[in-house]
Amino acid sequence: MSSKQIMFSGFSSGGLIVQIICLLVLIGLCIFVFKKYPLQVTIQNIVFAAMFVLLASVMNALSVMIPFFGVPSVKLSFVILVLIVAGSSLSPSWAYLVGLVFDLVGLLIVPTDQPFLGFTLSHVLVTLLPSLWYVKSQSMKPQVAFRIIYSALFILGVFAAIYVLQMQQIQVGQDIVQITTVMKISIVLFISAAILILFAILRYMQKKQKEETAAAFAKWMLIAIIGEVLYSIILTPLWLDVMYAIPWFVSMFIRVVKACVMIPIDIVVGFSLVNLVHRVSFASKSKSLKEPK
């Protein structure tokens, strides 16, 4: 049996179509990125890219399943945070490679007879989009960034609340759990508290920090939210639907709650990591410029 047959043998015709679409998207992104943003091979870029792949792989190995409604069903991991930080610190071409290589390393560590290209695409996108965002947002005015993030937080909160309130039951593992009114109100209050905390943090940054720092924080906050929502709430449930016929709308419930926990952590911890990487990068470049040729 060929490698292509092995790759697709466990999928239905619909799953095969999704595999092909994901492959074409990966190829298209590769052509676009490397043509628009040629790869600059330097020692610093190689070191940073390798460091991010290694760190993401370690975080993936340290991931833990935590119980939800009494069943271990939520994977707690900081892989997405590392990939978003990588994309925010590297050029688009290097960001694409980091996402792709991380996925390939994962397949080498935990081999599978049926690799699914949807997750490969997810890892590439969640690393590439922050890099493209930082390239395109260089000329963005601070007030524009603030308006965008405030709007995004409001829309995210409203969407999450409406979604939770209309749910009647969810599937947790092999069990069907009925969602009571008390549970709905509790989760909506939790989501509202998370959104209000983010509003408060952003408002504090606006008033207490320099405009440049506050704007950088707003840009990071936006891409952290987009990355977590894209990977956890949109793409992963979609791929699980394709692979295991788990309804996208049902499996998304747990991930909405998880995202409300992870997003504030991603924002606070990630912003510190991005600043650290940028300072190290700047110091390395300054040192290289001072060294005699």
CA pair distance 284, 104, nearest whole angstrom: 29
Structure tokens, 80: 């997405």
pLDDT digits (tens, 9 = 90+) for 123-180: 999 999 999 988 887 777 777 778 888 888 888 888 888 888 887 776 665 666 777 8
pLDDT digits (tens, 9 = 90+) for 4-21: 333 444 556 667 888 999
Structure tokens, 186: 């509790």
pLDDT at 69: 58
pLDDT at 63: 80
pLDDT at 84: 94
What the chain holds in terms of domains, given with CATH numbers, is: 3-290 (1.10.1760.20)
Residue count (the chain):
293
CA pair distance 265, 232, nearest whole angstrom: 15
* Secondary-structure breakdown of the chain: helix, strand, coil percentages, each rounded to the nearest 5: 80, 5, 15
pLDDT at 9: 44
CA pair distance 279, 281, nearest whole angstrom: 5
Sign of CA dihedral 41, 47, 49, 53: positive
pLDDT at 175: 64
Q: What is the pTM of this model?
A: 0.83
Low-confidence ranges of the chain (pLDDT < 50): 1-9, 286-293
